[in-house]
Amino acid sequence: MFNELQKRSMKKVTKLALISAGALLLILIIFGSSFLKLIQGPVDLYSLSKDELLGTYVEGDINVIIDNFASYSEQDNSGKKRNRKNYYIIPICDEELIAISVYSNDFSLANQICNDTYDYIFGKRDELTKSIHIKGTINKLKGDVSDYYFEWFEQSGFMGDASLEEIEKYALPYVLEANTIGIFEVSYIYIALLVCSYFAIYMLIILVKGFTGAYLSQIKRFIKENESTISVDTIELDYEKAVAIDSVKIGNQFTFCFLGSKPFILRNDDIIWAYLKRTTHKTYGIKTGVSTALILRTTNKKIRAIDMTSEENVSSALKIYSENNPNIILGYSEELFKCYRKDFEKFLNMSRQQKAAAANRNVYVEKESAESGMEKATLLKSGDNKIHVIKVIREFLGCGLKEAKDLVDNTPSVIKENISMKDALAIKAELEGLGATVEINKV
């Protein structure tokens, strides 16, 4: 049992580790270059040659700004446009020029430096005293910003009557993007680093826990706490004989299930309520799928939600419980939920009474073994899942749609007569798993 559970746990751990590794690799592919630049740190802007500029993470104090040639605006929640970023022209290297982006909190200083630069050029100032510290990456100019950049040189006459070819010789098509590392803003880089760290730590933790068998802790603890009343051999024998459905194995005495990579064991006598849960998933209001789960509620008010691949598998699990564990109330209804939430002791009594009734019935069957023990199952209420109830009745009876619909529409109605108690309980379990109410009567 332990070896098999460990193997199944490691299979789930390996799958999660591969998903985490894939996500980690994808982030590294996208942000790897920026991570490397961040680790290496910025280079002095004025130490680079013309050929070293592109793609370099730099920093420097800018005290000469030629002009502002473009702005970038965004619309806020109120619909008002706000200028988020301005683009300026600065000298670089020997006689070359590049663009530089400045964010709104530095607009005033950048504009003042621009004014001071013109005063200095025309002899109105002896020196430039103000500067703005910029840290970012020199990238290629693109789109409208590139067009505005070269238009400024053509229209301003800054280079006299120079042709476009001559302008491009000195006006390099680069922009120093402030607060960026590579092509991403610094904030995105740090978020990506946090996500990388999360996946790396998560992957390490699950692998360590998987290889050390830590995920088996609940089962080991359960065995230790109950060693005076239950032997390991009994549990292992029940595990071997248990019926496997998806990620759950249901035995006569115990239920073995997985929650993530961690296996759990539940004593069936501690389960008081079992039912199907459907969850509809939506993205932007559009239905994208439906997931199903087997919900088990225990005497200590704990809930185990076991994911299942289909409603049929949940019904199969409920059927097994109906055959071997009469203490478990099967199927969901709002009345049962209200009782469970508001009067838990009453709910427990319902479970006990159901178990006692089954015990009395078993005694009666043993006493009257000579009798045929034939029963009939009566549908008292179809519940909310009328369509599914009709479908199940059609399967049980092998009848047409109209006949099955008439039985459901005209409740209470007899589903099937002269059947064994085992078959009657099977019908009851599956229909009550869909929210219907079924009563078993002697013929």
- What DSSP letter does each residue of 102-134 carry, written as one string? EEGGGHHHHHHHHHHHHHHHTTS-S-----EEE
Q: What is the dihedral sign for C-alpha 303, 353, 382, 325?
A: positive
Instruction: Record the tokens describing residue 294, joined without a space.
Output: 């087997």
CA-based R_g, the chain, Å: 37
Distance from the first to the final alpha carbon of the chain: 44
In order along its 443 residues, the chain shows pLDDT tens digits of 778 888 888 888 899 999 999 999 999 999 999 999 999 999 999 999 999 999 999 999 999 999 999 998 887 777 778 888 999 999 998 889 999 999 989 999 999 999 999 999 888 988 889 999 999 999 999 999 999 999 999 888 888 888 888 888 899 999 999 999 999 999 999 999 999 999 999 999 999 988 888 888 888 888 888 888 888 888 888 889 899 998 899 998 999 988 888 888 999 999 999 999 988 888 777 888 888 999 999 998 899 898 888 889 999 999 999 888 889 999 888 888 999 999 999 999 888 888 887 766 554 444 444 344 567 666 666 666 677 788 888 888 878 888 888 888 877 788 877 777 777 777 887 777 777 888 877 65
pLDDT at 427: 80
What is residue 294's DSSP assignment?
E
* Whether the Cβ atoms of residue 275 and residue 331 lie closer than 8 Å to each other: yes
What type of residue is 188?
Answer: Y
pTM of the complete model: 0.63
Which burial class, exposed, middle or buried, applies to 368 when counting CB atoms under 10 A from its CB (0-12, 13-18, 19+)? exposed
Nearest to 174 by CA among 73, 91, 74, 64: 91
pLDDT at 213: 85
Instruction: Record the tokens describing residue 3, joined without a space.
Output: 């070896």
Q: How far apart are alpha carbons 90 and 175 in whole angstroms? A: 10
What type of residue is 54?
Answer: L
pLDDT at 358: 72
pLDDT at 145: 93
Q: How far apart are alpha carbons 187 and 157 in whole angstroms? A: 39
212 to 17, 19, 207, 227: CA distances (angstroms) = 15, 21, 8, 23
Nearest to 348 by CA among 297, 394, 311: 297
Q: How far apart are alpha carbons 296 and 325 in whole angstroms? A: 13
Angle, alpha carbons 94-96-102 (nearest 5°): 115
207 to 3, 23, 215, 431: CA distances (angstroms) = 17, 16, 10, 42
What type of residue is 135?
Answer: K
Q: How far apart are alpha carbons 177 and 137 in whole angstroms? A: 5
* Whether the Cβ atoms of residue 254 and residue 222 lie closer than 8 Å to each other: no
Strand bridging mode 96-103 / 171-178: parallel
Q: How far apart are alpha carbons 265 and 253 in whole angstroms? A: 10
Q: How far apart are alpha carbons 369 and 197 in whole angstroms? A: 67
* Whether the Cβ atoms of residue 73 and residue 86 lie closer than 8 Å to each other: no
